[in-house]
Amino acid sequence: MSDIQRILDKAVAGNRLSFDEGVKLFDCMDLHALGRAAHAVTTRLHPEPYRTYNVDRNINYTNVCAAVCDFCAFYRKSADADAYVLSREVLYKKIEETIALGGDQILMQGGMHPSLKLEWYEELLRDLKARFPKVNLHAFSPPELWHFHRINKIPLREVLQRLKDTGMGSLPGGGGEILVDRVRKELTKGKALSDEWLEASRVWHQLGGKSTCTMMFGHIETIPERIEHLERLRSLQDETNGFTAFICWTMQPGHKMSHFPQVGVFEYLRTQAIARLYLDNIPNIQSSWVTQGAKIGQVALFYGANDMGSLMIEENVVASAGTVHYLTLEQIKRSIREAGYIPRQRNVYYEYIDEGPALPVGLRTTGTPSLSLPVIA
């Protein structure tokens, strides 16, 4: 038996992989072997015949940012002509449109504005929660939280508690990129480093909150640094059990990184599959159809993902880098059905919030579709 097959069998059996075993898996060029193993793990974790999606809207309340990230084409400085902070009226309209489409959540993130104080964010949350009490505010990101702590000179725990008390419901895992300081220092200036990103997530979890975690790869990171990133997420999850899901995507060349060759489908699927094998304590993985497109987003359901992510009524950050993929709700559902599963709408906690179909008597509940693993040329 090859060393690669031994590692795959170990992960499928539910045993934890070591750092070196994670790195070794990137030597495997047999994409289908990785996919079969990742899919087996997903099926063990999610034997139900469902695959999920959610309906939310990504509202970027400001594009003004004190940080400089080489990969970001979205941010602006305060003096730029197209810098903005959205008014309440605009926010209300966007949320009303989301509710009308069946959404139960707003993903609200922005740049790290250099002058907005914590009281501004508290008032924002309080206003939105009073007007839309049933909408979950999946708000900010670990780098934003660290920024609030730093510019207000208020302890991080107090910042998070105050935001939680005024309506912040859950924490998106944006701004993770690669949680290795060598990479972060080279790509960004004025943004949370690895320990700071993790600490913001840790404190949120300690306060009883849930969050997602992410990875943007395919730029200057090494393969061992990808595994170091996964290792740090897995270690924090051992400590807090606060992550509900992991989402990875490839860097979209643009802005100052347009000279980088775009990482392709093979590397995306390979990395997601390895993440599923390595992150044995994070229950859900989202497909990144927003960056990969509908077909690969669907194929990702056979490479470790059990969730198609959000309808994404609005998306600005990825789109500003030149990548634009949009799906309707029916296209998302059809992608799940064509993969052999039943689509179900879920909330941020991965609880079903739709009625759900009546399952025929005798329907298998193993979650294993009748289709063979898709062929990626």
Residues 180/147, Cβ–Cβ less than 8 Å: no
Q: What is the pLDDT of residue 362?
A: 47
C-alpha separations of 309 from 218, 230, 259, 279, 345 in Å: 21, 20, 29, 18, 10
pLDDT at 70: 61
- pLDDT for the residue numbered 199: 98
pTM of this prediction?
Answer: 0.89
Among candidate residues 36, 44, 42, the one with its CA nearest the CA of residue 8: 36
Give the model's pLDDT for residue 314.
59
Show the beta-strand stretches assigned E in the chain: 50-54, 56-60, 68-69, 105-109, 136-139, 188-189, 211-217, 243-250, 284-286, 307-310, 342-345
pLDDT digits (tens, 9 = 90+) for 52-76: 999 988 899 888 876 566 666 666 7
**What per-residue confidence (pLDDT) applies to 361?**
47
Domains of the chain as residue ranges with CATH: 20-345 (3.20.20.70)
What pLDDT score does 115 carry? 81
**Is 354 in contact with 344 (CB distance < 8 Å)?**
yes
Nearest to 282 by CA among 243, 240, 239, 248: 243
Q: Which residues of the chain have pLDDT under 70?
A: 1, 66-75, 77-78, 253-261, 312, 314-325, 358-377
Per-residue model confidence (pLDDT) at position 261: 66
